Amino acid sequence: MSQPQPPRLLDQVRQSIRLKHFSLKTEKSYVYYIRDFILFHSKRHPKEMGVDEIRAYLSHLATDRRVAASTQTVALSALLFLYRQVLQVELPYIDEIERAKRPERVPVVLTRSEVKQILTHLDGVEHLVVSLLYGSGMHLMEGLRLRVKDIDFEYQQITVRDGKGSKDRVTMLPNFCIEPLRHQLRKAKSLHQQDSAMGYGSVELPYALERKYPNANREWGWQFVFPSWKRSLDPRTQIVRRHHLYEQSVQRAVKQAIRQAGIHKHAGCHTFRHSFATHLLEDGYDIRTVQELLGHKDVKTTMIYTHVLNRGGKGVRSPLDV
């Protein structure tokens, strides 16, 4: 009897990534760069290659393709994952591979009046999402992945689950967003009831909760606050269900609103998080409090916002203004 064929290398990569509970976006990026690495070296198997080939590939990305430092870092992370987690190979001197250094840039921050102008050019669910980004300091994907159970109207707080660094944190729920959020939840519940009546109504659950609580995926508390307007096929499970709102739809709406507001800063959804932190510091809130709300591991990360305050990082005034 013939032995079953072992899974192909990229399928092994996908399996390992899913065991680690990485996001679908990370999975696609890792698979892309691992495949590209193999093609760059004329389809040689990674087991036949090592540190020198990794260096050559990273150099090719930097010099020939002129990719950003962040892109080169993702490619290196993908290759390290391949060798360490999939192939179980500890390459000698792997830690000596130089990572591209990101340029230190001051974050783009919108003024309060600019935030207000942009919000006036947004409506519907995009207006509510962006209001939450600015009002609570969440990342875009943190806002879109919110579940019904994560909103606490009584304590006026939002629990951000599995945020950056795989950590949970609590942030504020602005008064401004309470009634629009209640209205959004009513719409989402109506949609969920329609789906359930048609035999759908299940939602993706994190990690192994779907196996541990087989009926939880249909419970109202686990549904997304911002469900997508249509059902789609889950590429991992092949189940048709309703995911959360697509991030690019919010990003496009924000870009259009910025243009309509006549603002020429290089801004996007993440700029509202920067503006949240800066405006809190302008209002005199303690930097440690801001660090906790943002979920930063180190206060040094939060310190960057002191450089864009109106009064300057150290309260210095220009001699021209004296």
If one looks up domain 9-96 in CATH, what number appears?
1.10.150.130
Which CATH architecture best describes the domain 112-308? Orthogonal Bundle (1.10)
Separation in Å, CA 172 to CA 29, 138, 147, 243, 321 = 32, 10, 15, 25, 37
pLDDT for the residue numbered 4? 58
Give the gyration radius of the chain's Cα atoms: 23
pLDDT recorded at residue 313: 46
Q: How far is CA 252 from CA 91, 121, 126, 138, 180, in A?
A: 43, 12, 10, 18, 21
Note the pLDDT of residue 98: 61
pLDDT digits (tens, 9 = 90+) for 12-67: 999 999 888 788 889 999 999 999 999 999 999 999 998 889 989 998 888 888 88
Q: Which residues pair with 54 in a beta bridge?
A: none
Contact present, 94 and 52 (Cβ < 8 Å): no
pLDDT for the residue numbered 66: 85
pLDDT score at 96: 57
224-241 pLDDT, tens digit each:
999 998 898 888 778 888
With vertex at residue 27, the alpha carbon angle to CA 200 and CA 8, rounded to the nearest 5 degrees, is: 100
Structure tokens at 157: 């707080």
Q: Note down pLDDT in tens along the chain; length 322 residues.
A: 455 566 789 999 999 998 887 888 899 999 999 999 999 999 999 999 988 899 899 988 888 888 888 888 899 999 999 999 999 988 776 655 666 666 677 889 999 999 999 999 999 999 999 999 999 999 999 999 999 999 999 999 999 987 666 688 999 999 999 999 999 999 999 999 999 999 898 888 876 677 777 788 899 999 999 999 889 888 877 888 899 999 999 999 999 999 999 999 999 999 999 999 999 998 888 899 999 999 888 888 888 888 766 554 455 565 655 5
Domain boundaries, the chain: 9-96, 112-308
